[in-house]
Amino acid sequence: MRKLELLAPAGDLEKLKIAVLYGADAVYLGGQQFSLRAGAANFDNDSLLKGVEFAHRHQVKVYVAINILAHNADLTNLPEYLKFLAIAGADGVIVSDPGIIDTILRMQLKLPIHLSTQANTTNWASAAFWKRLGVERVVLARELSLPEIHEINQRVDIELEAFIHGAMCMSYSGRCLLSNYLTGRDANRGDCAQSCRWKYHLVEEKRPGQYFPVEEDARGTYFMSSKDLCLMEYLPQMVEAGITSFKIEGRMKSIHYLATVVKAYRQALDSFIHHPSSYQMNQKWLDEIRKVSHREYTTGFLLGDQGKTATVEPGQKSYTRLAAFVGLVLAYNDAAKRIIVEQRNNFKVGDKLEVLTPAGENKLLEVTAMFDGETGEPLAVAPHPQQIVELAVEHGIEPMSMLRRIE
């Protein structure tokens, strides 16, 4: 079997470490320039070096997004940044702009080029063109069906990557001017205001000034808001079609979201890799990814229905979740039989929590005793954001595990 890669987002150094520890084969991230996620913390040069070192120490690859649609001014600092990435040991760069691709090729840097989904590759002729130019991997447009992916794979010998999970843009492959027009924040330069998710009213041309609400439910209207992509049930079909890199969206998502989704897909992919002929999708993996905050899930365009089920329908909630992330395990004190926890949400003595661990099955933990991490004084509740507390436990819990309350 071709080597399959689980590719996870890393919005900052903490998220990179979480993605690595919870099972990613590779991570993608953005620097402080050239990346289509201006709202994420992103990586300065120092943190990028630390991130590459940490990932490589765990045999995980790092791809750096340089996927803006560049203006002239963007090109000034580009060569210096590309040299830095090559020296830092980046395993590839994700690019959509032909000018940036040409710059990388002319500089003869050892930076494998992955063509961003922003380049809208929807056919085999385009994939062949980019391969001739020097691209090693194509991140396919999300608007493709399984037969279309299969034909591209049959006709062009190039690595294929596809999104399998996360938020989707209501516009074609993310090409949207709505945010730029309404707020001056350019989605194609990483600064989308998500204007498609706002509430809107209609105005009839012969009745200026009369605004008619577009009503669907008590929460507002979401007629331009897409559901979240979830292709957990179709991994074998995607492998058969030719996908080798399975990409999770979400550089701006929480570490709980990242850990939960990465671990679930890691388990699913490993199960398929080890037993491809007898593979069966386990319901517990789907149940797990429903615990994080998400919109209603959809298969997008993969099944050939032109994305007809991809938009939020009347009466559906905009977001739902089945668990609340309350604490991150920092360490285990074996002598005192306590775990040291950084509080991320309110919890108290008497709560029954689920423990999400980087490996193995989830565990249950009842908070029987809690202590202030600085004074050692007993606590009944952990009310302060990022407060350090210690919890009495019978057995050790792995650092970077997450405590959550099922809701």
Can you give the pLDDT at residue 220?
A: 47
Tokens, residue 52 = 């590459």
| pLDDT at residue 217 is higher than 60 | no
CA dist., res. 164 & res. 238, Å (int): 9
How far apart, in whole angstroms, are the C-alpha atoms of residue 153 and residue 250?
A: 26
DSSP three-state, residue 129: helix
- In the predicted model, what is the mean pLDDT of residues 136-150? 96
Q: Is the pLDDT of residue 149 over 70?
A: yes
- End-to-end C-alpha distance for the chain, whole angstroms: 40
Q: Quick check: pTM over 0.75?
A: yes
Q: Which residues pair with 66 in a beta bridge?
A: 95
323-406: CATH architecture: Beta Barrel (2.40)
| Distances from the Cα of 256 to the Cα of 22, 92, 248, 344, angstroms | 11, 26, 14, 10
Q: Are 104 and 82 in contact (CB under 8 A)?
A: yes
pLDDT tens digits, 16-65: 999 999 999 999 999 988 876 555 568 999 999 999 999 999 999 999 99
The token duo for 187 is 């989605």
Does pLDDT of 320 surpass 50? yes
User: What residue ranges of the chain are covered by domains with CATH 3.20.20.70?
Assistant: 5-173+226-298
For domain 5-173+226-298, give its CATH number from 3.40.640.10, 3.40.50.300, 3.20.20.70, 3.40.50.150: 3.20.20.70
- Which has more pLDDT, 224 or 286? 286
Of residues 86 and 309, which shows the higher confidence score? Answer: 86
Q: What is the pLDDT of residues 98-134, one digit of tens each?
A: 999 999 999 999 999 999 998 999 999 999 999 999 9
> For the purposes of burial, counting CB atoms within 10 Å of the CB of 184, is it exposed (0-12), middle (13-18) or buried (19 or more)?
exposed
d(C-alpha 136, C-alpha 223), whole Å: 38
Q: Which of 201-210, 216-225, 340-349 has the lowest mean pLDDT?
A: 216-225
Mean pLDDT, the chain, whole residue set: 89
Distance of CA 78 to the CA centre of its chain: 25
Residue 314 has pLDDT above 60, yes or no: no
Tokens 């229905």 locate to 305
Q: Where in the chain is the domain with CATH 2.40.30.10?
A: 323-406
